[in-house]
């Protein structure tokens, strides 16, 4: 666009909606501290089990999903909305499409967060990581996301800038891909107002879930943040991005490749091998575009390194981009099958995740806020010294976190696989491998405290910054001018230039880029009739077992226990026969898990007598000295909901589970009969018959069924 | 029909074809992006964040 070509009368006046950016900034700070407080609490719970307090709402199994959801969707979510709304308006020279939609977006999202926290505390969980929220909240998320999308694309339509800067591309990819991921992974049939079953089962559910789960990292924690990086880093150093050309290569290769990488969460599982290998190969390829972006971000700071030493904003941004580089090196490394064989299910993965979410996300948000808050409130940062103190506290805390998790993960992984000269497990007792790493849990918790402390210091620093701003100036809307879009239309270019000038066409291409990988990996599971060889030996769960399974999901057992024996000698020795795809056809949702804080449970059925489980849930240390598992005393007081079982079975039947009508009609009675048998079996050990309708009996029924259809006895 | 198509997905030619296609596309994009005569355009693009709009 040449300025001379635009005559003065085509200039339009407008103002930016910065109030909504301020609202999202406050929400970022509040939810950030909440997410980190939960993180610190659950870190201490692993170091000392007594911190579960024997209260059902405070157990690790329920709090861990709150921590992850709060960190991702509440803290990072509000941060990206703040950054996207600030930068989009300025890049497009237009006020947001609708102030009302902005407000609905803001309050809707906060309401969802509160609903999520309350429902997870109460145990309403979908049992799929980072997608735990039940169906009414899933629908609310979809609606609010649509509000966000309309507001965003509406702003694009009424823009006064012909060209769409690369940050906006990253935002577009985020909006459309998160919508697709969330909707596809959340298709479920309601049983009641807070319970539903996914339409996918077993292997298919696992594939869809980790396609979602990995791309939640990709399109919620990476692409929007890269967009923020491409806007706020140049703004902070007051220089354009190092290479705009590289940013285009970065964008297209990243969105195309990222979507394929999900199956690296399922290496050595019962997922077909070709999907695993595809996921692994694309994960390794992903290293290239990730580092392309990192280099582009870091080199944007060339010539400003003296300021990086002094200014907290730049210091945090430079470190964030460095951690992005480290995490995206570690990720492909962990996705290599032989490395993954050691690292999967251990704390190494937990460390990796936190070098991303703390090192990349928190630090980039901190850098952004140090730039944004003084700008929004038209003042100066209150204290650079506090900013530097925060920086070092957070960095030291994070390094302690990551290194302790490396040590814990590699130690435990090696102990699990150690086999002595006689061909037996060196550490046959799982709890030995746990007790060895408990000191690391203390180090991690201490690192977490430092990170939390740094965040509180930031809140104080920013609060003081806002306080010193003059209220009259801070809220006075500035008036900007720019030529209308119509007056620039003649300058539309050709090829890619034209494409990025046509946001809707661009969006279609971006969607195509992410659909290629999704279709290649997921479609075969829908189309191929023999994707999973069904086995006549695998039968649906009995009504009582199904009730027990839902209690297992409700208490978040999958957070600490996997149900996936991998085809490796050490696993076969420790747990029994490796898993087969056919075993999981009735598992809705699948419960393969991602971390073994306790042992794998796939073959636990029949391994111990019923009474062992009864005593174990009452006091884990009575049967496993040293165990770090919480006590589950309320399972002995709360009654199993027998009345809802008919409904559950009929929903399962509508999904293709072969229950007969007789079973559906009498589900409650059948369950009570089985509960009676189990309770009678334990009567000689002093269990009263009136325990038969308690949740513990249903849970025992489920645990004793696990892995028996194809696994047999050990 | 569906089954025939799926059965043919096993052909070893297909992955190679996919690889060739992806690489060709990638190289094509690279060549397009790094054309010399687009210098001026990228200059405009990279300066977009620097300008918040004229101020009264």
Q: Which residues of A touch B38 (CB under 8 A)?
A: 497
Distance CA A443, CA A151 (A): 45
Supply the ipTM of this predicted assembly: 0.89
The answer to whether the beta carbons of residues A517 and A668 sit under 8 Å apart is no
pLDDT score for A574? 97
- Closest-CA distance, B43 to chain A, in angstroms, reads 8
Distance CA A32, CA A586 (A): 38
Distance CA A554, CA A195 (A): 10
A288 exposure class (CB count in 10 Å sphere: 0-12, 13-18, 19+): middle
pLDDT score for A9? 65
Helix (H) or strand (E) holding A480: strand A480-483
Among A90, A478, A527, beta carbon nearest to B2: A527
Distance CA A581, CA A574 (A): 20
Count the residues in chain B: 56
Distance CA A169, CA A505 (A): 12
- Closest-CA distance, A578 to chain B, in angstroms, reads 26
Residue in the structure block whose two tokens are 């900007």:
A480
Q: Which residues of B touch A241 (CB under 8 A)?
A: 46
Residues of chain A with pLDDT below 50 are 1-5, 713-714
Task: Quickly count: other Cβ atoms within 10 Å of residue A262's Cβ.
Answer: 31
Chain A residue with CA closest to B1: the answer is A527
Give the residue numbers in B contacting A (CB under 8 Å), as ranges: 2-3, 6, 9, 26, 29-30, 32-34, 38, 41-42, 44-50, 52-56
Task: Quickly count: other Cβ atoms within 10 Å of residue A139's Cβ.
Answer: 11
pLDDT score for A3? 44
Label each residue of A530-583 as H, E or C: CCCCCCCCCCCCCHHHHHHHHHHHHCCHHHCCCCCCCCCHHHHHHHCCCCCHHH
- Residue B19 makes CB contacts below 8 A (sequence gap 6+) with none
Give the bridge partners for A192, in sequence order: A195
Structure pTM?
0.94
pLDDT score for A2? 42
Distance CA A341, CA A529 (A): 30
Distance CA A536, CA A581 (A): 13
Chain A stretch 204-233, residues whose beta carbon is closer than 8 A to a beta carbon of chain B: 230-231
pLDDT score for B11? 74
Distance CA A214, CA A203 (A): 16
Do A481 and B54 lie within an 8 Å CB cutoff?
yes
Among B6, B30, B55, beta carbon nearest to A527: B6
Do B55 and A244 lie within an 8 Å CB cutoff?
no
Q: Is A13 on the interface with B (CB under 8 A)?
A: yes
> What are the Cα distances from residue A564, in Å, to A155, A267, A702?
47, 11, 16
pLDDT score for A448? 98
Do A524 and B9 lie within an 8 Å CB cutoff?
yes
Distance CA A172, CA A252 (A): 12
- Closest-CA distance, A276 to chain B, in angstroms, reads 15
- Closest-CA distance, A93 to chain B, in angstroms, reads 6
Structure tokens at A308: 């990086």
Per-residue pLDDT of chain B (56 residues; tens, 9 = 90+): 666 666 666 777 888 898 899 899 999 999 999 998 889 989 999 999 999 988 87
Structure tokens at A676: 């009676």
């Amino acid at each position: 666009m040449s300025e001379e070509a635009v005559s003065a009368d085509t200039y339009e006046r407008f103002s930016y909606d910065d109030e909504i950016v301020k609202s999202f900034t406050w929400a970022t700070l509040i939810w950030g501290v909440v997410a980190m407080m939960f993180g610190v609490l659950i870190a201490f719970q692993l170091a000392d089990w007594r911190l579960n307090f024997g209260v059902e709402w405070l157990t690790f199994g329920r709090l861990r999903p709150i921590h992850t959801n709060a960190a991702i969707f509440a803290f990072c979510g509000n941060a990206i909305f703040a950054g996207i709304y600030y930068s989009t308006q300025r890049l497009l020279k237009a006020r947001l499409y609708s102030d009302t939609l902005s407000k609905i977006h803001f309050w809707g999202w906060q309401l969802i967060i509160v609903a999520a926290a309350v429902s997870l505390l109460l145990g309403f969980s979908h049992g799929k990581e980072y997608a735990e929220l039940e169906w009414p909240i899933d629908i609310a998320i979809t609606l609010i996301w649509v509000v966000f999308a309309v507001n965003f694309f509406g702003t694009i339509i009424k823009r006064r800038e012909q060209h769409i800067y690369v940050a906006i591309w990253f935002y577009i990819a985020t909006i459309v891909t998160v919508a697709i991921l969330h909707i596809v992974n959340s298709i479920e049939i309601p049983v009641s107002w807070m319970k539903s079953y996914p339409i996918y089962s077993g292997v298919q559910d696992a594939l869809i879930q980790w396609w979602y789960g990995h791309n939640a990292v990709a399109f919620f924690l990476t692409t929007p943040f890269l967009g923020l990086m491409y806007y706020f880093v140049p703004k902070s150093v007051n220089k354009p991005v190092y290479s705009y050309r590289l940013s285009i290569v970065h964008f297209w290769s990243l969105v195309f490749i990222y979507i394929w990488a999900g199956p690296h969460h399922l290496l050595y599982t019962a997922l077909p091998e070709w999907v695993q290998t595809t996921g692994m190969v694309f994960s390794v390829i992903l290293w290239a575009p990730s580092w392309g972006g990192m280099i582009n971000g870091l080199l944007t700071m060339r010539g400003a390194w003296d300021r990086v030493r002094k200014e907290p904003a730049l210091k945090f941004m430079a470190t964030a981009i460095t951690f992005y580089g480290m995490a995206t090196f570690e990720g492909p490394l962990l996705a290599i099958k032989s490395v993954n064989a050691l690292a999967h299910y251990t704390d190494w993965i937990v460390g990796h995740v936190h070098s991303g979410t703390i090192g990349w996300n928190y630090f980039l948000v901190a850098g952004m806020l140090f730039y944004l808050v003084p700008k929004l409130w038209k003042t100066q940062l209150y204290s650079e010294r506090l900013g530097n103190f925060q920086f070092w506290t957070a960095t030291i805390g994070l390094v302690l976190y990551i290194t302790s998790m490396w040590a814990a993960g590699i130690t435990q992984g090696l102990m699990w696989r150690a086999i002595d000269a006689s061909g037996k497990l060196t550490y046959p007792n799982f709890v030995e491998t746990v007790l060895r790493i408990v000191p690391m849990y203390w180090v991690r918790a201490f690192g977490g405290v430092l990170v939390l402390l740094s965040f509180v210091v930031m809140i104080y620093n920013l609060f003081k910054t806002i306080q010193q701003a003059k209220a009259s100036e801070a809220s006075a809307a500035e008036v900007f001018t720019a030529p209308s879009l119509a007056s620039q239309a003649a300058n539309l270019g050709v090829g890619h230039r034209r494409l990025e000038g046509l946001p809707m066409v661009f969006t279609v291409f971006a969607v195509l880029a992410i659909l290629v990988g999704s279709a290649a990996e997921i479609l075969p599971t829908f189309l191929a009739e023999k994707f999973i060889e069904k086995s006549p030996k695998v039968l649906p769960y009995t009504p009582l077992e199904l009730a027990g399974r839902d209690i297992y999901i409700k208490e978040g057992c999958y957070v600490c226990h996997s149900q996936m024996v991998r085809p490796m000698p050490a696993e076969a020795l420790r747990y029994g026969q490796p898993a087969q795809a056919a075993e999981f056809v009735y598992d809705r949702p699948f419960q393969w898990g991602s971390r073994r804080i306790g042992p794998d449970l796939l073959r636990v059925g029949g391994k111990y007598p019923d009474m062992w489980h009864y005593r174990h849930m009452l006091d884990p240390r009575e049967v496993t000295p040293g165990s770090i598992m919480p006590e589950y005393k309320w399972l002995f007081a709360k009654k199993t909901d027998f009345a809802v079982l008919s409904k559950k079975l009929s929903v399962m039947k509508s999904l293709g589970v072969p229950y007969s009508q007789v079973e559906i009609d009498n589900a409650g009675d059948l369950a009570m009969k089985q509960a009676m048998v189990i309770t009678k079996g334990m009567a000689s050990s002093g269990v009263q018959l009136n325990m038969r309708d308690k949740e513990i009996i249903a849970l025992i029924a489920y645990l004793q069924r696990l892995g028996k259809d194809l696994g047999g006895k050990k | 029909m569906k089954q025939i198509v799926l059965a043919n997905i096993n052909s070893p030619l297909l992955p190679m074809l996919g690889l060739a296609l992806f690489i060709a596309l990638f190289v094509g994009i690279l060549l397009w992006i790094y054309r010399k005569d687009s210098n001026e355009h990228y200059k405009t693009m990279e300066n977009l964040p620097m300008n918040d709009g004229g101020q009264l």
